[in-house]
Amino acid sequence: MLVAENLIANGVSHWYEPALRCGNHTLFPDFLANTVFGKVLVEVSGFRSPRTWIRLLEKLRLYLSYKAADRILVVHLEQDRETALKVARQLGSLVKMIPISDMGDLIHTVTSSKDSLGNVRIISIAQALQACRRMSGKRFHWYQLIQKVPKGRMGCYSGPLWPLTGRH
């Protein structure tokens, strides 16, 4: 919810849990944004279990092998910093790990390739919770946003899944 509210507050057009076809797999990243710098995929890891990190690593490898995005970002809990760094070392520079406390870095990475943050509006967890309550829950809120984004603007396959063949 915190990631979504920060994307919304900064005018980042995105899809919430879009279906991506990677070979024989259908994956559902938490967010997919289409920016001037290309496709940015965001996974949020709000878990501490080593088993779920292993599954996330497998998912990230699929995204990479099928070139699912130009940038892949993983937002993680502060407590998972060491695990996130281990995963990042296995994947190299193609995947960036961002602590959940650094929404400025997330928005900057999604929206630009420069080192300066520029004009970024940061939404706190309290503000995100308040917006979510006003909209009767995150899914309703994000669904409403997604419905307002024209399909052509996102560059999406118009069928039920966005197929990724590895040739993109």
pLDDT value of residue 114: 40
On whether residue 114 sits in a domain, the answer given is yes
Residue 149 — pLDDT band, cuts 50, 70, 90?
very low
CATH number, domain of 130, equals 3.40.1350
Provide the residue range defining the domain that includes 47. 2-150
Report the range of poorest mean pLDDT among 8-12, 24-28, 67-71, 114-118: 114-118
Q: Give the DSSP H/E element, type plus range, for residue 80.
A: none
| 112-148 pLDDT per residue, tens | 644 344 577 777 777 777 776 555 545 555 455 444 4
DSSP character string of 10-32: TT--EEES--EEETTEEE--SEE
Distance between CA atoms of residues 159 and 168, nearest Å = 17
- Residue 52: inside a domain, yes or no? yes
Kindly state whether residue 135 falls inside one of the protein's structural domains. yes
137 in a domain, yes or no? yes
The verdict on residue 157 lying in a domain is no
Q: What are phi and psi of 97, to 5 degrees?
A: -95, 135
Q: How many residues comprise the chain?
A: 168
Q: Residue 110: what pLDDT?
A: 86
Contact 65, 42 (CB under 8 A): no
* Residue 162: closest CA among 10, 20, 18: 20
For 33-59, write each residue's pLDDT tens digit: 988 778 999 999 866 677 888 899 999
Asked whether residue 71 is domain-assigned, the answer is yes
What is the value of pTM for the model shown? 0.72
Burial class (CB in 10 A: 0-12, 13-18, 19+), 119: exposed
Angle subtended at Cα 4 by Cα 129 and Cα 65, rounded to the nearest 5 degrees: 145
Within a domain: residue 162? Answer: no
Give the number of domains in the chain. 1
Instruction: Share the mean pLDDT of the chain.
Output: 76
Q: Does any domain span residue 164?
A: no
